[in-house]
Structure 1
Amino acid sequence: MSLFRDDLQALLNGPLHPWLAHVAPQLASWQQQPHGDFKRWQRVLAQLPALKSDTYQLGDTVSVGNIEQASDSQRAQLQGLLKQLMPWRKGPFELFGLHIDTEWRSDWKWQRIAPHLGDLSGQQVLDVGCGSGYHLWRMLESGADHAWGIDPGELFLTQFQAIRSYMPAAIAKRAHFFPLGVEHLPTQNNFDTVFSMGVLYHRRSPIDFLYQLRHQLKRGGQLVLETIISEGDEHHVFMPGERYAKMRNVWYLPSTGALSHWLKRCGFSEIELLDVSTTTTDEQRRTPWMENESLADFIDPNRPNLTIEGYAAPRRAVFRARRA
Structure 2
Amino acid sequence: MPDYQSLFHDLLAANADAWVAVLQTQLAAAFDPSRHGDLPKWQAAIAAIPQFSHSHTRTDTDAIEIGCAEDLTALQRKNLEQHLQALHPWRKGPYQLFDIFIDTEWRSDWKWQRLQDHIAPLTHRRVLDVGCGNGYHCWRMFGAGAKTVVGIDPMLLNVMQFHAIKKLHGTAPVYVLPLGMEDLPANLQLFDSVFSMGVLYHRRSPIDHLLELKGCLQPGGELILETLVIDGGLGEALLPPDRYAKMRNVWFLPSCPTLVNWLQRCGYTNVRVVDVTVTSVAEQRSTAWMRFNSLQDYLDPNNPNLTAEGLPAPKRAIVIANNPA
Whether the TM-score (by the shorter chain) exceeds 0.5 is yes
Q: For residue 306 of structure 1, give the secondary structure of its aligned residue in structure 2.
A: strand
Alignment-mate amino acid for residue 196 of structure 1: S
Whole-angstrom distance in 2 between the partners of 1:144 and 1:17: 21
Q: Check if 1:21 corresponds to 2:3.
A: no
Q: Residues 150 and 182 of structure 1 are in contact (CA less than 8 Å); yes or no, is this contact kept in structure 2? A: yes
Whole-angstrom distance in 2 between the partners of 1:87 and 1:111: 24
Whole-angstrom distance in 2 between the partners of 1:2 and 1:287: 29
Q: Residues 100 and 289 of structure 1 are in contact (CA less than 8 Å); yes or no, is this contact kept in structure 2? A: yes
Whole-angstrom distance in 1 between the partners of 2:264 and 2:217: 15
Alignment-mate amino acid for residue 12 of structure 1: L
Residue of structure 2 in register with 1:47 after alignment: 48
Q: TM-score, normalised by structure 1?
A: 0.96
Q: Residues 22 and 185 of structure 1 are in contact (CA less than 8 Å); yes or no, is this contact kept in structure 2? A: no
Whole-angstrom distance in 2 between the partners of 1:167 and 1:11: 22
Relative to structure 1, the CA distance from residue 275 to residue 244 in structure 2 (aligned partners, 3 Å threshold; closer, same or farther) is same
Deviations, residues 291-318 of structure 1 (Å, cap 9, x unaligned) = 0000110111210111111111000000
Whole-angstrom distance in 2 between the partners of 1:165 and 1:63: 13
Aligned length: 321
Residue of structure 2 in register with 1:194 after alignment: 194
Pairwise CA distance, 1:167? 1.1
Alignment-mate amino acid for residue 160 of structure 2: T
Matches within 5 A, 1:100-179: 100-169=102-171, 172=172, 174-179=173-178
Q: Check if 1:8 corresponds to 2:8.
A: yes
Deviations, residues 20-46 of structure 1 (Å, cap 9, x unaligned) = 123222223333453221121011100
Whole-angstrom distance in 2 between the partners of 1:91 and 1:15: 33
Deviations, residues 141-192 of structure 1 (Å, cap 9, x unaligned) = 11110110000011000000010011143xx2x1001101111111221000
Alignment-mate amino acid for residue 182 of structure 2: E
Which stretch of structure 1 is more off in the superposition, 59-68 or 23-32?
A: 23-32
Whole-angstrom distance in 2 between the partners of 1:208 and 1:23: 22
Alignment-mate amino acid for residue 43 of structure 2: Q
Q: Which ranges of 4 or more aligned residues in structure 1 deviate by more than 4 Å? A: 13-18
Deviations, residues 52-79 of structure 1 (Å, cap 9, x unaligned) = 2150111111010000001111111011
Structure 2 segments unaligned to the other structure (5+ residues):
none
Cα RMSD for the two superposed structures: 1.4
Q: Residues 281 and 296 of structure 1 are in contact (CA less than 8 Å); yes or no, is this contact kept in structure 2? A: yes
Q: Residues 49 and 77 of structure 1 are in contact (CA less than 8 Å); yes or no, is this contact kept in structure 2? A: no
Q: Residues 286 and 292 of structure 1 are in contact (CA less than 8 Å); yes or no, is this contact kept in structure 2? A: yes
Pairwise CA distance, 1:10? 3.5
Q: Residues 190 and 218 of structure 1 are in contact (CA less than 8 Å); yes or no, is this contact kept in structure 2? A: yes
Which stretch of structure 1 is more off in the superposition, 278-287 or 3-12?
A: 3-12
Whole-angstrom distance in 1 between the partners of 2:30 and 2:134: 18
Whole-angstrom distance in 1 between the partners of 2:28 and 2:167: 22
Q: For residue 320 of structure 1, give the secondary structure of its aligned residue in structure 2.
A: strand
Matches within 5 A, 1:204-283: 204-283=204-283
Residue of structure 2 in register with 1:319 after alignment: 319
Alignment-mate amino acid for residue 248 of structure 1: R
Identity of aligned residues (%): 46
Q: Residues 53 and 168 of structure 1 are in contact (CA less than 8 Å); yes or no, is this contact kept in structure 2? A: no
Q: Residues 125 and 194 of structure 1 are in contact (CA less than 8 Å); yes or no, is this contact kept in structure 2? A: yes
Structure 1 segments unaligned to the other structure (5+ residues):
none
